[in-house]
Amino acid sequence: MVDKTNLGEAKKAKQDEFYTQWADIEREMNAYLEYDCGVFRNKTILLPCDDPEWSNFTKYFALHFMDLGLKKLISTSYAPESNYSGAFYEPTLFETESPIYEAEKSKVNGRLFTLTPEDITGDGLVNIDDLQWEYLEGDGDFRSDEVTALRDEADIVITNPPFSLFREFLAWLIAGKARYSIIGNVNSLTYREVFPSIRSNKLWTGPTITSGDREFRVHPSYPLEAAGTRVDDEGNRFIKVKGVRWFTNIEHGRRHEPLQLMTMEDNLKYNKKIADVGYPKYDNYDAIEVGWTDAIPSDYEGIMGVPITFLDKYNPDQFEILGITQSWDDVSGLKVKTYPQQTQISKNGTRSQVMKLNDGPAIKVEVAPESTYYEIEGEIFIKKYARLLIRQKK
């Protein structure tokens, strides 16, 4: 059972139990189908970290089993006693009325659900009613040998994995050969474990979630005082989550659409956002700051630092991604300076000695801003958010 005595752990465990809405799954899968209508044909699809009684992933693929032409659908669930909802767990009638139901296993084992082209109910259709299930040997942890063997059997893996294990889950996927599409937070792309795959065009973001927040269904025990929660007419609870993205290596059309851009001169003249701030050069990277994706100058041939949300518009035929302004990324060789200790002056005037300026793009300014800034031997710097370092392809 997950230890919920530690508040941080409890918060993480709860976030691991956010359930994806049908419409979000449908929109993303439709985008892959629009690009390649045979993308799922004759494929084995694995949905790990799932649970058909709670999650829409299995329901969606079971409903579309025939029209997508699937070869096999496999989904696995995580044992209630291993996850946050264990304390509130009650097996459903679907499970207790089955001849293979075992009370103890129901709590401590994961479950394996499979659907093949065999019409078990004999109603002329293959759908969720033909889903077969059994207990897994273990608790359904994706890192277990049995779930890893399922990953290796699958052509495509799709899920919303536990938020707290995103890095590990992605590493587990990358270690296999299957294509995949998973939900995560946009900030994950700045991680050392994630960014290298993005730079080498082995991983990209999906086309259907690019801004705003998304609602996820939460457990009936989820505290309603938490920000962004709501209850629908049937008593289901939902929470709004910001910064959600699909991370995938399945092709889609958006990543082949070129971004329409203005020249630097026109941006400086007509783009209100850029008119005041221009395109300052970083002090510690060999690149200019472009604070908004729509302000990327079409005629600039050098290296540019752009917000990480640039990835929502990224077309690998138009741009190359060279690096990221994180201190661990030394592959790009674009970092030209490492600062000695700095004095950080926060908004309320508090002064502290830090090394933070080395972990981001720094811009030298003449006048101290009202927001946080840094001082080194009388020189003033501001630090921007993490930036992707990009260049246009010729």
Ligand X SMILES: C[S@@+](CC[C@H](N)C(=O)[O-])C[C@H]1O[C@@H](n2cnc3c(N)ncnc32)[C@H](O)[C@@H]1O
Closest CB 361 distance from ligand X, rounded Å: 32
113 CB burial (10 A radius; 0-12, 13-18, 19+): buried
Q: Which is nearer to ligand X, 142 or 310 (CB)?
A: 142
Contact 348, 212 (CB under 8 A): no
Q: In this chain, which stretch among 155-163, 187-195, 236-244, 279-287 interacts with ligand X, using CB under 6 A?
A: 155-163
- SS3 of residue 96 by DSSP: helix
Taking each helix axis from N to C end, the angle separating 145-153 and 166-174, rounded to the nearest 10 degrees, works out to 50
Closest CB 49 distance from ligand X, rounded Å: 3
Query: Is 28 an interacting residue with respect to ligand X (CB under 6 A)?
Result: no
Q: CA–CA separation, 363 vs 360, rounded Å?
A: 10
Q: CA–CA separation, 370 vs 120, rounded Å?
A: 69
Q: Which is nearer to ligand X, 47 or 203 (CB)?
A: 47
Closest CB 84 distance from ligand X, rounded Å: 7
Compute how many residues bind ligand X; rule: CB under 6 A: 22
Residue located via tokens 């809405």? 21
CA distances from 63 to 42, 57, 127 (A): 16, 10, 5
Residue located via tokens 């005629």? 299
Query: Is 206 an interacting residue with respect to ligand X (CB under 6 A)?
Result: no
Query: Is 184 an interacting residue with respect to ligand X (CB under 6 A)?
Result: no
Query: Is 162 an interacting residue with respect to ligand X (CB under 6 A)?
Result: yes
Closest CB 123 distance from ligand X, rounded Å: 27
Could you say which residues in the range 50-79 bind ligand X, by CB under 6 A? 50-51, 55-57, 78
Q: CA–CA separation, 31 vs 250, rounded Å?
A: 10
Query: Is 49 an interacting residue with respect to ligand X (CB under 6 A)?
Result: yes
Query: Is 19 an interacting residue with respect to ligand X (CB under 6 A)?
Result: yes
Closest CB 191 distance from ligand X, rounded Å: 18
Contact 111, 134 (CB under 8 A): yes
Query: Is 113 an interacting residue with respect to ligand X (CB under 6 A)?
Result: no
Among 65, 142, 246, 247, binds ligand X (CB under 6 A): 142
Q: Which is nearer to ligand X, 75 or 284 (CB)?
A: 75
Query: Is 323 an interacting residue with respect to ligand X (CB under 6 A)?
Result: no
Among 28, 31, 60, 140, binds ligand X (CB under 6 A): 140
Contact 136, 170 (CB under 8 A): no
Among 160, 188, 197, 248, binds ligand X (CB under 6 A): 160
Q: In this chain, which stretch among 116-124, 162-170, 173-181, 223-231 interacts with ligand X, using CB under 6 A?
A: 162-170
Between the two ends of the chain, the Cα-to-Cα distance in Å is: 55
Beta strands in the chain (DSSP E): 44-50, 72-77, 111-115, 132-135, 156-159, 179-185, 204-205, 213-218, 229-231, 237-242, 244-248, 288-289, 304-307, 319-324, 342-345, 351-354, 362-365, 373-376, 379-383, 387-392
Query: Is 83 an interacting residue with respect to ligand X (CB under 6 A)?
Result: yes
Closest CB 76 distance from ligand X, rounded Å: 7
Contact 173, 155 (CB under 8 A): no
Q: In this chain, which stretch among 91-99, 156-164, 194-202, 271-279 interacts with ligand X, using CB under 6 A?
A: 156-164
Q: In this chain, which stretch among 45-53, 186-194, 288-296, 376-384 interacts with ligand X, using CB under 6 A?
A: 45-53
Instruction: Give the number of other CB atoms < 10 A from CB of residue 271.
Output: 15
Query: Is 18 an interacting residue with respect to ligand X (CB under 6 A)?
Result: yes
Closest CB 3 distance from ligand X, rounded Å: 14
Query: Is 106 an interacting residue with respect to ligand X (CB under 6 A)?
Result: no
CA distances from 131 to 22, 75, 90, 93, 137 (A): 19, 10, 21, 15, 19
Q: CA–CA separation, 61 vs 138, rounded Å?
A: 25
Q: Which is nearer to ligand X, 95 or 141 (CB)?
A: 141
Among 10, 63, 108, 165, binds ligand X (CB under 6 A): 165
Binding site for ligand X (CB under 6 A): 16-20, 49-51, 55-57, 78, 83, 140-142, 159-163, 165
